[in-house]
Structure 1
């Protein structure tokens, strides 16, 4: 993990699909279940989409999480079978760090990041996001930006 910086997040329109995970331990299985069909639906429809992929997580009652996976929509987004067009809002201020490496270590990176942000005395203000800046090749080379909007 790199140092934490605080900055504005710009709004972005994405093609997204979601599922519900029974807590954070269930997130990888949900991603494995919803990401390939989203990719196939976008490819099959021939709509313009691009990297980076963005995932975000919304807490639900009972400890469950709504898990969203997405790619940036092209210039003229259209709704389709297998995805939603979602406008991720701007965040005037967000804590941001970069995680490099295997997805098996990302939960620990999130834990350390959230503890550090809380220690800075700021309040979380909306769902956290993962932006996959480099996700080709072996996971050991992946680069993921962790983003947490704050008040």
Structure 2
């Protein structure tokens, strides 16, 4: 067999292997998609939804405008840290972290702070969040990287109940101590009204 014939056979084999690779890659993408759906469904079954009122709360907080949702994780934590640096010396001042997210034309306004009964302090804003008559709430367990899925489930439940959001959403960080976030417990709170 001459070199030209071997070259031709190898090129044909390369085309065949490339085709097999594309088919296998497409199958792998499909398997990954199915695994993701199964994990997502399992995660959603773990979220209990309740309808309740929310009390008015007074926070020592800071505000930040986030233009892109991808920046959110890089903004929220440091904003809480900045507030903690101002009020953290007071016993119990960091026990109840709360964030509020308000959609604006130029992005999302993030208000991050702690339940606070003390006086005004330089470096933080004292904010009164009003009581909410009706809110749909769900508990997100674990890392913040999956909280978007939990919010999607909460909003689907809102629509299923014939309700619509009526104001900025809140997150109450019930337990948020570990660095890896595996044991975090976050209550998602969305004020609503009937359609």
Regarding TM over 0.5, the answer is yes
- Map of 2:77 onto structure 1: 32
Q: 2:173 aligned to 132, 141, 146, which one?
A: 132
TM-score, length-normalised on structure 2?
0.70
CA RMSD of aligned residues (A): 1.7
Shift of residue 35, structure 1, vs aligned partner:
2.0
User: Which of 29, 34, 53 is the matching residue for 2:97?
Assistant: 53
Cα distance in 1, alignment partners of residues 88 and 192 from structure 2? 35
2:187 to 135, 142, 145: 145
In 2, Cα distance between equivalents of 1:82 and 1:48: 19
| Structure 2 contact 47–150 (Cα < 8 Å) conserved | no
Q: Which of structures 1 and 2 has the larger relative contact order (alpha carbons within 8 angstroms, sep 6+)?
A: 1
Question: How many angstroms does 1:32 deviate by?
Answer: 3.3
Mapped to 2, the partners of 1:31 and 1:11 lie a distance apart of: 22
Q: CA deviation at 1:24?
A: 2.2
Q: Which one has a bigger Cα radius of gyration?
A: 2
Counterpart for residue 66 of structure 2: 21
TM-aligned CA deviation for residue 33 of structure 1: 3.3
Shift of 1:145: 0.3
Matches of 2:120 and 2:92, distance apart in 1: 12
How is 1:1-150 mapped onto 2 (pairs within 5 angstroms)?
Answer: 1-43=46-88, 46=90, 49-62=93-106, 64-74=107-117, 77-137=118-178, 138-150=180-192
Aligned to 2:28: none
Structure with the higher fraction of residues in helix conformation: 2
Task: State the match for 2:31 in structure 1.
Answer: none
Aligned residues of 1:134 and 1:144 also touching (Cα < 8 A): yes
Q: Where does structure 1 differ by over 6 angstroms across 4 or more consecutive aligned residues? A: none
Aligned residues: 147
Q: CA offset at residue 100 of structure 1? A: 0.4
- For normalisation by structure 1, the TM-score amounts to 0.89
Check conservation: 1:48, 1:73, Cα contact below 8 A.
no
